[in-house]
Amino acid sequence: MNENARAAVDAQPCAHGTLRHERTCPACSREASVTLGYGDVYGALRSWESFDCRHCGMKWESDDSGFLQPEPRARMLAAYGTWTVRMGRAQSAFNAVKVLRNALGLELMEAYALLKHESGIVLTGTSQECAWLKGLLEKAGERPVMNLVTLA
Ligand SMILES: [Zn+2]
């Protein structure tokens, strides 16, 4: 089993949208816990991590913006499933395309193609990513629907 697969198996979901896993403390070499949070913060997708060693008291926190890196993202998908955001007919294709472009970093034509795709699915990802994009689209007057596709 490689490290990523092991992390996915060991990760325990705790509060909604967060994950906790054990990691060796770099200071005392004993077992410490790392909690990873992810989600919408005032319209921006953000992640944050806090390290806490109950043995030596070492702590740190860090945060980042945008989509998670592949390894922690795989753990989120494993813990909370793969979700989709689906759009029906857009209330305003102009506004919806603007939201998709900004949120997903797409070119104009890519965003139009995504919106016009027959599946209606504009994002497949973690529950937090889908909730974030759904919120942005709702703010723009759209009525997207979020669905759980699969629990890994
Ligand atoms: Zn320690």
Spans of all domains in the chain: 3-75, 82-150
What pLDDT was estimated at residue 15? Answer: 54
CATH topology for the 3-75 domain: N-terminal domain of TfIIb (2.20.25)
What pLDDT was estimated at residue 112? Answer: 96
CA 117–ligand 1 middle distance (angstroms): 51
Give ion ligand 1 contacts, CB < 5 A. 25, 27-28, 53, 55-56, 58
> Which parts of the chain register pLDDT below 50?
1-9
* Residue 76, both tokens: 């989120």
What pLDDT was estimated at residue 5? Answer: 45
Instruction: Check residue 27 and report its DSSP letter.
Output: T
What pLDDT was estimated at residue 14? Answer: 53
What mean pLDDT, rounded, does the chain reach? 90
What pLDDT was estimated at residue 4? Answer: 46
CA 33–ligand 1 middle distance (angstroms): 10
For residues 76, 34, 131, 63, the Cα torsion angle rounded to the nearest 10 degrees is -120
Q: 82-150 has which CATH code? A: 3.30.1390.10
Exposed/middle/buried for residue 125 (C-beta within 10 Å: 0-12, 13-18, 19+): buried
SS3 42: coil
